[in-house]
Chains A and B, each alone.
Chain A
Amino acid sequence: MIEVISESRCIECDICVKVCPANVFDKTGGAPVIARQDDCQTCFLCEIYCPTDALYVAEYADGPVAITEAEVEERDLFGSYSRALGWKRGKPGGTQFDPTHRIRVAQV
């Protein structure tokens, strides 16, 4: 589930409010807030749309977990999914290097 909005990283663009398919965030005038955490579908998409890697979604989908911004920062997890995909500053990228076709050959 969505766990952390880093106020120090957030530039208050409200993109996450707009793009979250489950409408989890609310605008505040400052950094958005996680208003409906239980609605989160743990899709990690807000992370990759955030231009400053200010969001962290924990892998556990069935309920909230205790993880702090400091821990996410220390384990270098902010932006880690974007980096794995090749998305940068909230913009798509990297799909031209996707090696999935090799896996599909190996699968059979």
Chain B
Amino acid sequence: MSSNQTDPSGSDPLRLQADVLIIGGGPSGAWAALAAAENGTKVVLADKGYLGTSGATAPSNTGTWCVAPGEDRAQIVERRWQRTAGLADPRWMLRCVDRAYENLLKLVEWGYPFPSEDDGKLYIANLRGPDYMAFMRRRVLLAGVTVLDQHPALELLSNGETVTGAAGVDRQRNRDWRVDAKAVVLATGGCAFHERILGATGLTGDGYLMAAEAGATLSGMEFTGKYTLAPHGSSLNKGLPFRWATFYREDGTEIINSDGEPLRNGIGEREKEIARAMIEAPVYARLDQAEPVLQDWLRQGQPNCFVPYSRMGIDPFKALFRVTFKAEGTVRGTGGIRLATSDCGTDVPGLYVAGDAASRENMTGAMSGGGAVNSSWAIASGWWSGQGASQFAKRHEQRSAFRSTSSPLGEAGLRPAGTTKPGLTAKNVIAAVQAEVLPLEKNYFRDGDRLEASRQKLDTLWSDVRHHLAGAGVDRYRAREAAAIAATGRWSLNASLARQESRGMHRRADFQSNDPAFTRPILVSGIDHIRVEAAEPVQHGKERAS
């Protein structure tokens, strides 16, 4: 693969010092940067792509979970909690809606152009991705943060006690970079296993791998069974329009649901039936349940959903079009790095985590947080992690004296144990992982035997990755992405095998019912040897939302 670019010969590495380094420039990284800068610390933010267009929010249109302070706030949280399949923590949910609300008001104060409702009141519960992230970029720059675009991070640095920065490549200037920092926030998003969905190119689980190398624990990695409908072959995994869809076979006959009625609504309870139908044969859809006025709102409000149709030259309200389920891994799933403290610290001193990089089980349990909760979580956890990291940095002012003892932690995909193998490319590794974790018949509908077979395949693959996978020059980040995808696949399979029940998006054919003994998170840690353990049962039903 060519690695351009401005200076093909490479140039001297970039070295910077900061109090807080933020890795990832989606909404959670941007909010973390603002909070850390507000706290008076020197902040550097490095993104793989470009702060403003990178990540899952930028190309989308995100609804937030917006709960105004008021009497019914506790009931609203309680009702949402009921939908989390028992794994969420109402205390986190309450703090999250409060923090997110405060920050949405900050956006109002800063002049973000929210739409108005009919009564003239601003509607602050929706953030259109490209506009929101362009706005956040301006705020972050205004706050004096140093932004490094097109600077993927490859690995963390550590002095043996705390995380002391990170290193990576500047993929447009073809040089290495290193930032020494007193605290690091991982805001690297989830892992969608390189499925071609909106905003997910850079979401390859790099943060999980970096955190695990530093000794952090992951939680909820079995909750990767989230899929969303999209026009076949497109990147548009936006479920909302399918609320008004009817589903058909290729010959135009309606697919009949288990109650003998036409199969409708792609984001409701019938999702399973659509997935089953799709395993049998191609499925087509038509948005024929949308009234004309709704059709106009959909076109105006979700222009990106309609781009594919207009470019294909079809009217989705009238014509049948083929659909697929796109796998979304932990992006709309819930797994991620386990939070150890209320300021979004991890098990590793100096390492903080925000947004989709963190486990969202506290917020959404076994259900997807896409569609409302995740974006509020990105705001709130971003803010807390920025505060937490900057306070940690202040407590460790003196650390610079020890900086020379920092060493890099990256291994898989970066420093293989043996020599590189010509046939083992990042691309092949990713394809091999995808074959186990994307197909509906393996990952939407799960079964112990199939999970075990996949686990064995990925264990073999991992041994190859560990011994032989590496990239050269700036393309090192590609090998590292492949390693992170493979590691994430293994964590997900191990956790899925351990959760011997069905709950939310984890659907086991061999354990079809919900088992109260599993009302607790499954934790995974370790890279070559994966350790799986059950956390303490979640305390629920007692202290809820009071």
Q: Is B one of A's binding partners? A: yes
Residues of B within 8 A of A104 (CB): 63, 125-126
B162 within 8 A of A: no
Q: Within the assembled complex, what's the spacing in Å between the Cα atoms of A21 and B53?
A: 6
A27→B132 CA distance, assembly (Å): 27
Q: How far is the CA of A61 from the CA of B307 in the complex (A)?
A: 12
Task: Specify which chain A residues have a CB less than 8 angstroms from the CB of B197 in the assembled complex.
Answer: 41
Contact of A102 among B234, B301, B306 (CB under 8 A): B301
Determine how close the nearest CB of chain A comes to the CB of B76; give it in whole angstroms.
14
In the complex, the answer to whether A107 meets B231 with C-beta atoms within 8 Å is no
A35-B2, A106-B297 known; A96+B113 contact, CB < 8 A: yes
What chain B residues lie within 8 Å of A42 (beta carbons)? 196, 198, 234-235
Q: Which of A61, A101, A102 is within 8 Å of B233, CB to CB?
A: A61
A13 within 8 A of B: no
Q: With an 8 A cutoff between CB atoms, is B202 at the interface?
A: yes
Given A35-B2, A42-B196, are A20 and B53 neighbors across the interface (CB < 8 Å)?
A: yes
Are the CB atoms of A96 and B116 closer together than 8 Å? yes
Contacts of A81 in B (CB 8 A): 303-304, 307
CA distance A80 to B109 in the complex (A): 32
Closest B residue by C-beta to A56: B311
- A83 CB, nearest partner CB in chain B, Å: 9
List of A residues within 8 angstroms of B303 by Cβ: 81, 84-85
Q: Give CA–CA (A17, B173) in the complex, Å.
A: 12
User: In this complex, what residue of B is CB-closest to A72?
Assistant: B311
Task: Determine whether B473 belongs to the interface, using a CB cutoff of 8 Å to chain A.
Answer: no
Map CB proximity to B onto A72-102 as digits: 1 under 8 Å, 0 otherwise. 0000010011001101000011111111111
For residue B294, CB closer than 8 A to chain A, the reply is: yes
The answer to whether B53 and A43 have CB atoms under 8 Å apart is yes
Contact size class for A? 35 or more
Contacting pair B61 A49 (CB below 8 A): no
In the complex, are the beta carbons of B49 and A97 less than 8 A apart?
A: no
With A45-B53, A49-B53 in contact, is A98–B304 under 8 Å at CB? no
Q: Does B456 contact A (CB under 8 A)?
A: no
C-alpha gap A98/B61 in the complex (Å): 10
Given contacts A21-B58, A35-B4, are A101 and B311 in contact (CB under 8 A)? no
B240 at interface, CB cutoff 8 A: yes
Considering only residues 102-150 of chain B, those with a C-beta below 8 Å from chain A are 113-117, 123, 125-126, 128, 130-132, 134-135, 149-150
Main secondary structure of the interface of B (DSSP, over half): loop
Please state if B128 and A20 are interface contacts (CB–CB under 8 Å): no
Report whether B126 and A98 are in contact in the complex, using a CB–CB cutoff of 8 Å. Answer: yes
**What class of interface size applies to chain B in its complex with A?**
35 or more
Report the minimal beta-carbon distance from B191 to chain A, rounded to whole angstroms.
14
- B419 close to A (CB within 8 Å): no
* Interface 1/0 per residue, A1-38 and B, CB below 8 Å: 00000000000000001111111001100000001100
Contacts of B131 in A (CB 8 A): 92-95
In the complex, residue of chain A having the shortest beta-carbon distance to the beta carbon of B150: A23
Q: Which of B520-536 contact A (CB under 8 A)?
A: none
Q: Take A19-B53, A20-B49, A21-B53 as given contacts and tell me if A103 and B234 are in contact as well, using a CB distance cutoff of 8 Å.
A: no
A95 close to B113 (CB less than 8 A)? yes
Shortest distance between the CB of A73 and any CB in chain B (Å): 14
Task: For the complex formed, measure the closest distance between the CB of B57 and the CB atoms of chain A, giving whole angstroms.
Answer: 11
Q: Which of A48, A61, A92, A103 contacts B301 (CB 8 A)?
A: A103
User: CA–CA, A43 to B52, complex, Å?
Assistant: 12
Complex Cα–Cα for A59 and B316 (A): 14
B200: Cβ under 8 A from any A Cβ: yes
**Which of A26, A85, A107 is within 8 Å of B5, CB to CB?**
A26
Q: Tell me, in angstroms, the Cα distance from A22 to B50 when the chains sit together.
A: 9
User: Complex: how many Å from CA A35 to CA B117?
Assistant: 44
A59 to B200, CA, bound (A): 16
Q: Are B135 and A59 in contact (CB under 8 A)?
A: no
Contact of A95 with B128 in the complex, beta carbons under 8 Å: yes
* Chain A minimum-CB-distance residue to B171: A23
Contact of A100 among B63, B235, B307 (CB under 8 A): B63
Q: List 11 contacting pairs A-B, 8 Å CB cutoff, sorted by A.
A: A21-B49, A22-B201, A22-B202, A36-B2, A41-B235, A44-B307, A59-B234, A87-B130, A92-B135, A95-B113, A100-B297
- What 6 pairs between A and B have smallest CB-CB spacing? A21-B49, A59-B308, A84-B303, A43-B59, A42-B235, A41-B201
